[in-house]
Amino acid sequence: QALGQISQRTISTASRRQVENRVPEHQKLFQEDNGLPVHLKGGVKDALLYRTTMGITMFGTIYAIYHLIVSSMPK
């Protein structure tokens, strides 16, 4: 019986919350023609994430190539 009351309360309180629909404003942002690629239209945060990802990727690639060269040399 207690489990039924808890589940009833959880379901009923979840339906009362009103969440603002922000999809139309995101659609406007991503559909406007401002010359930016989609992965950078989110602003500074997207640019920072992109540059961080590219930096880590370049570091990993150079690191892997370095270790391939070192391991191919005889000792």
In whole angstroms, what is the distance from residue 16 CA to residue 56 CA? 44
Q: Is the pLDDT of residue 58 over 60?
A: yes
What confidence tier does 10 reach under pLDDT thresholds 50, 70, 90? low
Going from N- to C-terminal start, the domains of the chain cover 39-74
pLDDT at position 9: 58
In whole angstroms, what is the distance from residue 34 CA to residue 8 CA? 49
Average pLDDT, the chain: 85
In whole angstroms, what is the distance from residue 17 CA to residue 61 CA? 47
What confidence tier does 18 reach under pLDDT thresholds 50, 70, 90? confident
Alpha helices in 17-73 (DSSP H): 23-31, 44-72
Q: Is the pLDDT of residue 59 over 90?
A: yes
